[in-house]
Amino acid sequence: MRGYAGLTIETKQALTAWAFLAVPIVFFAVIRFYPALESFGIAFMQWNLLSKPVFIGLDNFRKMLGDPVFWLAFKNTFVYLMVGTPLSLLLSFVIAYYLDQVRFAHGLIRACYFIPHLTTTVAMAWVWRWFYQPPPIGLLNNMLNAVGLDAQPFLRSTTQALYAVLTPAIWAGLGFQIVLFMAGLRAIPSSYYEAARIDGAGKWMILRQITLPLLKPTIVFLVVISSIGFLRIFDTVYNMTDNGAGGPLNTTKPLVLYIYETAFRSYQMGYAAAQTLVLFVILLTVSLVQLWLMREKS
């Protein structure tokens, strides 16, 4: 029988690679995949962490259909998605496009845009919460009063609160998206632009015919990642609303926050698992549809 010493170099390299990969594979299997699969089974149970789980079939899903708070959280989540994703991508692309043309202090400006992405969500949310406070505390309302405008309720308004929460969430993610857009822009060969200018193409035609098509892989990646981020929004809402309740009157509450409340405040683990299963299906569907649409247009 051949020992390790008798193996070929390729086999030894493969065994070494699998040995290093075994640690993260085991970690994800135990910490990530097993709890996720276990939650699928809990979705059909009634369980409060203290008593033994009882199988109740589809009752949790039937309860979901008649739960007005669930549907409000569902609607809020899609508002975060449908407003946050295109707006963040548009802003980040415009900033990256013009920043790519800057030569003076380019690295410093790029770092300034990226710093919010490195800031912890809790600290960022509380700073923005201070911005939105009524006068004379809140910075934004003081600025409005300084120019003769009325103070706004912001986080205390049922119509303004969701967008007040969404604004810092978009701002915090711009840095990551800008860096990726800039990497994509730098990867486009300059010879393409030179040839287009020689042919008499203007800036708008170059942007539409060269830049955007060649940025398609970056755009697809950012659309999917950004969509998943807004569908899973939690920290910003939890820290910017009173008692982390997603108020006022649940108008800012996303699905992830409602799942958290159901599980760890109401201790309805089965119902929370059923909501998690629905969120998983939404995430998977949205991601697959976006990938399909972007590939169809490419």
pLDDT digits (tens, 9 = 90+) for 15-58: 888 888 888 888 888 888 888 888 889 999 999 988 899 999 99
Q: Cα(70)–Cα(173) distance, rounded to whole angstroms? A: 27
The reported pLDDT for the residue numbered 4 is 64
Residue 6 has phi, psi (to 5 degrees) of -90, 0
Would you list the domain boundaries of the chain? 67-297
Q: For all residues of the chain together, what is the average pLDDT?
A: 89
Q: What percent of the chain has pLDDT over 90?
A: 54
The answer to whether the beta carbons of residues 252 and 241 sit under 8 Å apart is yes
Q: Exposure pattern of 175-195 as b/e (b: 16+ CB <10 Å)?
A: bbbbbbbbebbeeeeeeeeee
Q: Cα(259)–Cα(210) distance, rounded to whole angstroms? A: 44
Q: Taking 60 as the threshold, does the pLDDT of residue 298 lie above it?
A: no
The answer to whether the beta carbons of residues 192 and 205 sit under 8 Å apart is no
> Helix, strand or coil for residue 46?
strand
Q: Specify the CATH architecture of the domain 67-297.
A: Orthogonal Bundle (1.10)
pTM: 0.87
Tens of pLDDT, residue by residue over 149-204, are 999 999 999 999 999 999 999 999 998 999 999 989 988 888 888 888 888 888 88
Tens of pLDDT, residue by residue over 128-162, are 999 999 988 999 999 999 999 999 999 999 999 99
